[in-house]
Amino acid sequence: MIQSLLDGILVGSILSLGAIGLTMAMHMLRFANFAHAELLSIGAYAALVFDGLFSALFPPLAAAIAPLSLTWALSLAIIISMAVTAGSAILVDRFVFARVRAIGGELSMVFASFGVALVLRNLISLIFGLKTQLYSQDIVFAVVISADPLLLVKPDQVFALVAALVIMLILHLVLSRTTLGYSLRAVAENPTLAQVSGIRLSRMIALIWIIGGGLAAVAGVFYGLTNQISPVIGRDLVLPIFAATIVGGIGSIYGAVLGGFLVGIASNLALVILPSGYSPAVPFLIILAVLLIRPNGLFGEARE
């Protein structure tokens, strides 16, 4: 039971990172982006490529940072991967979403995002193969933090949790303390008025994709680090991430953080009762529960 709670918190931090970017895009670009979870896959695979590259070029970097299985090479690769993923998000927006936005409505964007997700996911399968992969072949043993009740934690998981919390804190400071954060929130509140005040909308849209893509990349790498990397990361995480945004309330960044943790914990606790085969359906049950009890989520506001 406590082990499930612990695992839930760890998974939750990954979902939170994914949900922050998604909820920002849903709030400001006003469409449910079903391709968002594919950014996690792109991040995970970009890091895999650069990790391999750095380890081959500079062998000392391939040493693990004890007690983690994370290597120096992978840490560097995460930063490059954030840039690659943010770049991919901007490219997809430029070439697909911007065009669809110009001629169609919000729901055409949702349609397009499904198409984009299908293309991205299967391109990744085609390039990297359908098999699962790992960043490190070394076995990292879990640390026993308590014998009764038995509690196990892998150092990588703790690292991922702490790093995720630090990143969220940085994002919070940027959004609440800088002009950039103000502009971003102004655009979310009222795009027209923000433009009148001299905020460039196209730059803000690019910024949303940079933040969303960067966070998604980190989430993807952490997911790969604590589970495994496969082309279906996006398919498996899209519903939990959406559940996190709905729990938190669409558009609320703090809601997304909390929602991610709640969905992570609830999914793991549900598996205490349900057979594990049912786990893909749990996020849907959470969505149903939220829609029944509090349709606009914890921090969301009603909007047509």
Q: Output DSSP code: residue 34.
A: T
Nearer to other proteins, 59 or 105 (CB): 105
- Compare residues 66 and 102 and give the one whose CB is closer to other proteins: 102
Among 115, 176, 197, 202, binds other proteins (CB under 8 A): 115
Alpha-helical regions (H) of the chain: 2-28, 36-57, 72-92, 98-103, 106-128, 155-177, 179-189, 191-196, 201-226, 233-248, 253-273, 282-293
Angle 163-16-151 from CA coordinates, rounded to 5°: 65
User: With binding defined as CB under 8 A, does residue 182 bind other proteins?
Assistant: no
Is there binding between residue 304 and other proteins (CB under 8 A)? Answer: yes
Q: Check residue 271 for interaction with other proteins (CB under 8 A).
A: no
How far is Cα 158 from Cα 162, in angstroms, rounded to an integer?
A: 6
Stretch that binds other proteins, among 132-140, 187-195, 210-218, 234-242 (CB under 8 A): 234-242
> Using the rule CB under 8 A, is 287 a contact of other proteins?
yes
Q: Which is nearer to other proteins, 103 or 147 (CB)?
A: 103
262 lies in the site for other proteins, by CB under 8 A? no
Q: How far is the CB of 278 from other proteins (least distance, A)?
A: 6
Answer yes or no whether residue 122 interacts with other proteins by CB under 8 A: yes
Task: For residue 108, count other CB atoms closer than 10 A to its CB.
Answer: 14
Best CA proximity match to 36, nearest among 207, 203, 216: 216
Q: Tell me the C-alpha distance between 159 and 134, whole Å.
A: 17
Q: Is the C-alpha dihedral spanning 100, 103, 107, 108 positive or negative? A: negative
Residues that bind other proteins (CB under 8 A): 26, 31-32, 34, 96, 99-100, 103-108, 110-112, 114-119, 121-123, 125-126, 130, 238-239, 242-243, 246, 250, 275, 277-278, 280-281, 283-285, 287-288, 291-292, 295-296, 303-304
